[in-house]
Chains A and B, each alone.
Chain A
């Protein structure tokens, strides 16, 4: 079974530029998550989708960050304009979305963003 795919793996941009990240979840997974992980910290949930609807975006800085999940499969996360403090690893995860006790999240390798 193929895992969660993310691209690009690395990105370097100047502040005030825009950037987009792409995620392809595990086939059949209804729930998709985007996390931000700053160096030395645990991942922080930015947004959660159930199919193509948003379940939780309470920690998404909506003035500069946006995300969409077209047709309930792939997703893109965009930052416009980027700030220095956006330098982090952006992780995508997916889960089957069941209401059971597990609903294990499977993570991709992440995109390391450096903002200069």
Chain B
């Protein structure tokens, strides 16, 4: 089974840095993903971690600790267009490599 937890809502100021946490429990960990989703649109891929450590991609970074079942997405130099839902997803090799999603964190960036 899966249990993926992330905060429901966060608010941050334009230009600031925000960290969105995700904790998970899974029997067959095969990678952790972060997606961005604007209201009514399809999720778009942001990052992928399968080994412990930090992956950096422009303004976005993602960190993974497999032993702690923990990841975070770090967004720097926030822009108004970063207001969106951020989805943490874990792939489970014990269930056909299905992507299991958390409920998402709604981020509001204010001026």
Q: Do A and B bind each other?
A: no
